[in-house]
Amino acid sequence: MLRLYTAPGTIGLACEIALEEARAPYEAVRLNFRENEQRGEAYLAVNPKARVPALATDRGIITEAPAILGYVARTFPEAGLAPTADAFGMAEVESFMSYLCSWAHPAAAHRHRGYRWADDPAAIAEMRRKAPEVFGEAMRLIDADLFKGPWAMGEAYTVCDPYLYVVAGWLPRDGLDLAAFPRLADHFVRMGARPAVQSVLARVAG
């Protein structure tokens, strides 16, 4: 059985939704960040990066959300979560997830975790001010150009969709109005109606 290490409020939620969509046999291990469990010896033995998500498989540990999502899609091809037989199609999926991972996600993180990049309180304050602007620009690009509709990659639902759903859900946290991103707002509502999403959210809340 797969074991997903995750934590509430993190991108690990996207990986859990993908596992649920794939009907994969898995266990979710939820770390308590307030108690700093991600830096405890037990978890560092799983993932020395002290980050989530991490996925324990029968061949070892996979870290980083795009890698985990790609693994889920390839391991459970019958779920149709990515065009695994189409090299170009997979590259498009990976390109979309890479943009979320390399730009949109870090832009959001700078508002709340500026201490990772600076010690100067003035620099951290400036990051808090600037980060929502950068995050908003990234999400506007997705809303206007990268999002194909009705799902992220077009007609077919893919692992890009739970990833986008979680990142878009951070917009209000950064003081940005989700309604200002109409295509993403519609996507967010439709994602929330999916049984897999509702099932995972109920477990997280419980």
Each of the 206 residues of the chain gets a pLDDT tens digit; together they read 999 999 999 999 999 999 999 999 999 999 999 999 999 999 999 999 999 999 999 999 999 999 999 999 999 999 999 999 999 999 999 999 999 999 999 998 877 777 778 889 888 888 889 989 999 999 999 999 999 999 999 999 999 999 999 999 999 999 999 999 999 999 999 999 999 999 999 999 97
Are 51 and 132 part of one and the same domain? no
Q: Which long-range contacts (CB under 8 A, 24 or more apart) does 97-101 make?
A: 97/65, 97/66, 97/69, 97/70, 97/159, 97/160, 97/163, 98/66, 99/138, 99/142, 99/146, 100/66, 100/160, 100/163, 100/164, 100/167, 101/64, 101/65, 101/66
Are 140 and 156 part of one and the same domain? yes
**pLDDT value for 142:** 98
> Does residue 93 contact residue 136 with C-beta atoms inside 8 Å?
no
**pLDDT value for 177:** 97
Count of structural domains within the chain: 2
Are 157 and 102 part of one and the same domain? yes
CA–CA separation, 206 vs 147, rounded Å?
32
**pLDDT value for 127:** 84
Are 99 and 68 part of one and the same domain? no
**pLDDT value for 116:** 79
Instruction: Name the residue range of residue 149's domain.
Output: 87-194
- Check which CATH number belongs to the domain holding 26 and give it: 3.40.30.10
β-strand pairing of 2-6 with 54-57: antiparallel
**pLDDT value for 180:** 98
List Cβ neighbours of 106 (8 Å cut-off, separation of 6 or more): none
**pLDDT value for 193:** 98
Are 73 and 91 part of one and the same domain? no
Are 188 and 117 part of one and the same domain? yes
Are 43 and 18 part of one and the same domain? yes
- Check which CATH number belongs to the domain holding 188 and give it: 1.20.1050.10
Q: Of 158, 181, 163, 177, nearest to 74 (Cα)?
A: 158
**pLDDT value for 124:** 82
